[in-house]
Structure 1
């Protein structure tokens, strides 16, 4: 059974439209969550907004948003003014263009959602769009008002359904050129490159997300259980790693070849002086 839909609307491509629903593909609801308590009473504490200058609490009705122009100088915006700036939703996921799947730069990926037909009558049109994209190996770029903002969404075929991923805007993604500007150009070749390729080949596998565990979440669960049982968990010690300075030696060790030994030189035979 599909999870509860967080958005309903129409997926539109030119004159073709299909009623669809969006469902969260990732969730943090299963993570362990903590509340802040009063140590003395064990009661939950409530967050309160305090005036930075007077130190007095500020009632909810007296709270407004503010944009800082300079230090201590703000433009105040009432909730009604902010609400008026929110774009009206036409409940449409309108496809603007299709792009080759190889052209997707996943640094812009924000959050994934499952996209599925909203009803049995929409399944035929949905399947037509999905299979057309799958056969052409393309993804669709669409625009929609989601969660009070106009968002660009990347839509891809995925099994019997589709994946809709919201994209970050260009101004939200930092420049890769700036991030990598001080990394020097280094040519790697010869035995070192062959060893690196050998290590990669021995570590090849298939993606299985169940093989990766959340150690922090598991540690929190053990901690809560230990507290309930009156036990004490000692902090774990970090694993010691040998600091290998020589890169070639590290590569050989990783490849299971061990350090390459230099053959010992044979000592020259000592000459005996002839007596005569």
Structure 2
């Protein structure tokens, strides 16, 4: 079944325009989901909005948005007032500028979408934009209205299509200094740094998302299966106690593991190093 588009419109670069669609690239819909039940009856529990002071239920027609200006003091906003504040969208993903692919800090990355052409007549224009970006090794910054908000997208070439990633606004990204202000500036021992470099070199590899397991999701699946089959609930393994070790010794031990040869190679090298027995002397006579 073809994937449903989240948004359809036009990708516009200067005077070049082609119809495109955004498709969800990452989703949590396949995760195990739970409902809240009444333990006594097994029936689902429904949420109901109640007045925080009177405790009486409030019907949907009587519910309005409110912005808190002081403790317990709100400005009420009617649905039509909120709707009027939503910016108009012309369904155009207009490119403002091109930047280097590595020019933006990925802390600003929000949600990725696949961007693809929706009209076979637009495929040539789409391919021209994609190949031009590949050749110049650039990404595009573009804006459009999606989900009732003006969002900025970072668009990059990706295989036969493009990846359009929504970006966090500057006010949404907290300053790194707030988190790192208590991290001291420590001078590292050159030997320790060399050992660390060696460890990193021996552990170097390539990113393979298939190798990373969602252990929480797997544990939930096992729990549900056990309950269905009436089997004992699997008990999680107790984590090993963390030991406080000497940093230098830990680095040496880690580096030593990377240098160890396979058992067969060690045995072979020992055999080569072993001295050969002296030839037996022939008796005279």
Q: Same fold (TM over 0.5)?
A: yes
Separation in 2, partners of 1:203, 1:133: 33
Partner of 1:129: 129
Separation in 1, partners of 2:90, 2:223: 48
Instruction: Give how far 1:117 is off.
Output: 0.7
Change (3 A) 1:257 1:8: closer
Partner of 1:17: 17
Separation in 2, partners of 1:169, 1:241: 41
Change (3 A) 1:255 1:242: farther
Which consecutive segments of 4 or more residues in structure 1 shift more than 2 A? none
Structure 1 runs not aligned, ≥5 long: 259-276
Q: Secondary structure in 1 aligned to 2:194?
A: helix
Instruction: Give how far 1:71 is off.
Output: 0.7
CA RMSD of aligned residues (A): 1.4
Partner of 1:83: 83
Partner of 2:231: 231
Partner of 1:35: 35
Instruction: Give how far 1:245 is off.
Output: 2.7
Instruction: Give how far 1:109 is off.
Output: 0.3
Q: 1:244, 1:250 within 8 Å by CA — same for their partners in 2? A: no
Partner of 1:252: 252
Richer in helix (by share): 2
Q: TM-score, normalised by structure 1?
A: 0.90
Partner of 1:213: 213
Q: TM-score, normalised by structure 2?
A: 0.88
Q: 1:87, 1:149 within 8 Å by CA — same for their partners in 2? A: yes
Partner of 2:143: 143
Worse-superposed segment, 248-257 or 117-126: 248-257
Q: 2:223, 2:234 within 8 Å by CA — same for their partners in 1? A: no
Instruction: Give how far 1:242 is off.
Output: 4.8
Q: Secondary structure in 2 aligned to 1:99?
A: strand
Instruction: Give how far 1:232 is off.
Output: 1.9
Q: 2:222, 2:234 within 8 Å by CA — same for their partners in 1? A: no
Q: Deviations over 1:215-250 (max 9, x none)?
A: 000000000000001112243133314513310011
